[in-house]
Amino acid sequence: MATILIIEDQPDVRENIEAILELEDYQTLTAADGVIGVQLAQQYLPDLILCDVMMPRLDGFGVLQTLREQPTTQSIPLIFLTAKADKEAVRQGMGLGADDYLVKPFTLNELLEAIKVRLTKHQALQSQHQEKLHQLHEKISRTLPHELLTPLNGILGLSEVAIAAYESFSPTEMLDLLKDIHQSGERLHHLIQQFLLFSQLQLLTENPERLKAWQQYRQETLETLPIIQTQAAAIATQYQRLDDLHLKLSPGELQITPDDWQTILGELLDNAFKFSEPGTPVTVTTQRLDSQFRLTLQDQGRGMTPQQIQAIGAYQQFDRPQQEQQGAGLGLAIAQKMTELYGGQCVIESTPQGTQLTLTWPLPPKSP
pLDDT score, position 241? 95
- Contact assessment for residue 332 and residue 310, using Cβ atoms and an 8 Å cutoff: no
pLDDT score, position 129? 63
pLDDT score, position 227? 94
Contacts 24+ apart (CB under 8 A), 96-100: 96/61, 96/64, 96/65, 96/68, 97/64, 97/68, 98/64
pLDDT at 317 over 70: no
Report the DSSP pairing between strands 245-248 and 282-288.
Answer: parallel
- Contact assessment for residue 271 and residue 303, using Cβ atoms and an 8 Å cutoff: no
pLDDT score, position 318? 38
pLDDT at 321 over 60: no
Look at 261 and 127; give whichever has higher pLDDT. Answer: 261
pLDDT score, position 130? 67
Report the DSSP pairing between strands 221-223 and 78-82.
Answer: unpaired
pLDDT in tens, 185-224: 887 887 788 778 887 887 777 777 777 777 777 778 899 9
pLDDT score, position 326? 45
How much is the mean pLDDT over the chain?
82
pLDDT in tens, 135-181: 655 655 555 556 667 778 788 888 888 888 878 888 888 888 888 88
Regarding pTM above 0.85, the answer is no
Burial 195-218 (b: 16+ CB within 10 A, else e): bebbeebeebeeeeeeeeeeeeee
pLDDT at 328 over 50: no
pLDDT score, position 314? 44
